[in-house]
Amino acid sequence: MMRTTRLGFAGLAALALAAPATAEEFIHGSWFGVNHSVNTQGLEPYFDLLREESGGEIDWNLVPGAQLASGPGTPEAVSSGLMDAGIAVAPYQPRMLPNTNFVFSHSLPGDDALAATGAMNETVMLGCPGCQQEYRDNNAVGFGGYSTTPYNFMCRDMVDSVDDLAGKKVRASGGGVTITEIAGATPVSMSPAEATTALERGTLDCVLGAVSWLRSYGYQDVVESVVDSPMGMGGPPILMFVNRDTWESMTPEMRALHIEHAPDLVAGAAYDGQVSYDAGIIEAAKEQGVTFVEGGEDFAQVMATHDQNQRAGNLEDAAAAGASGAEEVLDYYIAAYERWQGLLDERGRDRDAFRSLLWDEVYSKVDPDAL
């Protein structure tokens, strides 16, 4: 199969559909746009590392922009072997991934995105047996999740109070659905990419999402206001949702390299592509006329109400969806978030310290051959 440097993405997509990849040459179908920070800061550097460390034996080709599968279509496309890997977001396929969706649905309070990312990886990889089992059930292996920075309301009109959200249609997912409902708005299910056009046309009023989406999805061109009040952190999107047959076709050394460098993937997506990325995005959005409104006590009260109520509701939904051991998983997740906050305070919040913690606390404990 020809490399992306010699073949356009459309031709690569056609080749991927026509024939399976070779044992050493793999296709990752990312439904994120070509310039999305997760692609440029996370996946591409990760694939470069794997290629370099393996002496070219591991060669991942990234096909961005949903050319092979949409967000909702990715788990099935990977399971069936249409592509070797993709990005799986559990709320898009809650019946296929009920356990991961349960983790995704619990909104973590505050604004510590690094601790949230650490807790998400630890929970999914070590504290959620049902998550790992559902990947097996879908002929897949999953690792490399991340959290966005805290979600904010980003609206096409001026919003500076919770009352302004009453009756508005808001793109939301996971725990953001109930947050939107508590705020008096109507949650709408759609991908972040679809929301751009919906905002332009006025069929959608707001998006509840990370400020990095202002650039990733072009929201800075279509929104007037961003409420600067943290509305929870959710995840993880699974960046490496890998076809199990593909995974098992690799040598043990190749599988080990994927896990050894998983902390680099996560640090790239979360630290480089989110935490350190946001300041420049906010400044650019302000220059384009987007107003950042400081959220008041009314927004804090929305989150307080949500935190008080979400446990019972999420556990009830998890039971209905068939998630296993949900209460134990939730307790593990909450404790992990608190523990990761302490670890980061102790070890430092720079990129190297974060990457080191991901290895020490999570991926050094993962057996690549047991996934």
The pLDDT tens digits of the residues spanning 268-293 come to 999 998 888 888 999 999 999 999 99
How much is the pLDDT for 3?
Answer: 34
- pTM for this predicted structure: 0.84
The pLDDT tens digits of the residues spanning 90-107 come to 999 999 999 999 999 999
Name the stretches of the chain with pLDDT < 70: 1-23
The pLDDT tens digits of the residues spanning 334-364 come to 999 999 999 999 999 999 999 999 999 999 9
φ/ψ of residue 153, rounded to 5: -80, 125
Q: Which homologous superfamily is 9-147+237-278+316-370 in?
A: Bacterial extracellular solute-binding protein, family 7 (3.40.190.170)
* DSSP per-residue codes, 19-75: S---SSEEEEE--S-TT-HIIIIIIHHHHHHHHHHTTTS-EEEEE-TTSS--TTTHH
C-alpha dihedral, 108 to 212 to 179 to 267, nearest 10°: -20
Token pair listed for 292: 């950042």
What is the Cα–Cα distance from 156 to 205, expressed in whole angstroms? Answer: 6
How much is the pLDDT for 19?
Answer: 38
* CB-facing half-sphere around the CA of 74: CA atoms within 13 A: 33
In what side-by-side order are the strands of the sheet with 238-243? 59-63, 25-29, 85-88, 238-243, 140-145
Could you tell me the maximum CA-CA distance found in the chain, to the nearest angstrom? 58
How much is the pLDDT for 328?
Answer: 98
How much is the pLDDT for 21?
Answer: 42
The pLDDT tens digits of the residues spanning 38-47 come to 999 999 999 9
> H-type helices in the chain, by residue range?
9-18, 37, 44-53, 74-80, 98-105, 113-122, 129-137, 176-182, 192-201, 213-216, 244-249, 252-260, 262-267, 278-287, 297-321, 326-347, 351-361
Domain 152-232+283-311 is found in CATH 3.40.190.170: yes
How much is the pLDDT for 6?
Answer: 32
Amino acid letter, residue 108: L
Residues 6+ apart with CB under 8 A from 56: none
What is the Cα–Cα distance from 172 to 207, expressed in whole angstroms? Answer: 7
How much is the pLDDT for 144?
Answer: 98
How much is the pLDDT for 15?
Answer: 38
Q: Give the start-to-end residue ranges of the domains of the chain.
A: 9-147+237-278+316-370, 152-232+283-311
How much is the pLDDT for 174?
Answer: 81
